Structure 1
Amino acid sequence: MLTYESHHFGENNTLSHYYNYNFNFPKHLHRSFELIYVKSGCLQVSVNNRTFEIKEDECILLLPYEIHSFVTKNSSESYICVFSPEYIKTFHNMVHEKFLNNPIFTLPNDFKTLIIDKIFKGNTNLLEMKGLLYLICSEVLNHTDIIENNKNDYELLHKTLNYIQENFTKDISLQSIAKKFGYSYTYLSKYLNNTLGISFVDFINENRINYSMYLLKNTEYTITDIAFACGYSSIRSFNRNFVKITNSTPKMYRKNIQPNK
Structure 2
Amino acid sequence: MTYFPDYFKTYPNMNTSSPLHISLNTLPRGFRPHRHDFLEFSYVIDGIGSEAINEKKHPMSPGTFTFVLPYQVHEIFTTEGSPLQLYNCNFSMELLMEPGTGEGLHTMIDLGGDVPYVQLSGTENDRMKGLIEDMFREYQGNQPWRQTMLQLRLKEILVLFDRARTRSQPDIAETSSSRKGASLWPIIHHIHKHYQDDLALSDLAQQFSMSMSRISELIKETTGQTFVHFLRDLRIRHACGLLASTDMSVTEIAMEVGYGSYKTFSRVFRESRGLTPKDYRKLKGSQLPLPH
Query: TM-score, normalized by length of structure 1?
Result: 0.57
Q: Which amino acid aligns with 2:71?
A: I
Secondary structure in 2 matching 1:78: strand
Cα distance, 1:42–1:171 mapped onto 2, change above 3 Å:
farther
Q: Distance in 2 between matches of 1:247 and 1:202?
A: 16
Within the alignment, does 1:152 sit opposite 2:181 as a pair? yes
1:41-52 equivalences under 5 Å are 47=53
Asked if the contact 2:51/2:75 (under 8 Å) is kept, the reply is yes
Match of 2:23 in 1: 20
Match of 1:142 in 2: none
Cα distance, 1:36–1:198 mapped onto 2, change above 3 Å:
same
Within the alignment, does 1:181 sit opposite 2:208 as a pair? yes
Q: Which amino acid aligns with 1:133?
A: A
State which of 111, 118, 121 in structure 1 corresponds to 2:130: 121
Q: Distance in 1 between matches of 2:250 and 2:264?
A: 12
Cα distance, 1:121–1:247 mapped onto 2, change above 3 Å:
farther
Q: Distance in 2 between matches of 1:228 and 1:62?
A: 34
Within the alignment, does 1:59 sit opposite 2:64 as a pair? yes
Q: Distance in 2 between matches of 1:42 and 1:242?
A: 44
Secondary structure in 2 matching 1:165: helix
Q: Distance in 2 between matches of 1:130 and 1:55?
A: 15
Q: Distance in 1 between matches of 2:203 and 2:238?
A: 22
Pairwise CA distance, 1:167: 1.8
Gaps of 5+ in 1: 3-16, 139-145
Q: Distance in 1 between matches of 2:125 and 2:206?
A: 47
1:17-166 equivalences under 5 Å are 20-22=23-25, 26-29=36-39, 36-39=42-45, 47=53, 57=62, 59=64, 61-62=66-67, 65=69, 67-68=71-72, 77-78=86-87, 96=111, 99=114, 111=121, 114-122=123-131, 133-134=164-165, 137=168, 150-154=179-183, 156-158=184-186, 160-166=187-193
- Root-mean-square deviation (CA), in Å? 5.1
Q: Which amino acid aligns with 1:151?
A: K
Secondary structure in 2 matching 1:152: helix
Q: Which digits, 9 at most, give the CA deviation of each residue in 1:154-189, with x for residues without a partner?
A: 3x531x223222221121111122123221111111
Aligned-pair identity (%): 21
Pairwise CA distance, 1:231: 0.9
Pairwise CA distance, 1:47: 4.7
Q: Distance in 2 between matches of 1:209 and 1:96?
A: 28
Q: Which amino acid aligns with 1:121?
A: G
Q: Which amino acid aligns with 1:196?
A: T
Q: Which amino acid aligns with 1:78?
A: Y
Query: TM-score, normalized by length of structure 2?
Result: 0.52
Pairwise CA distance, 1:118: 0.9
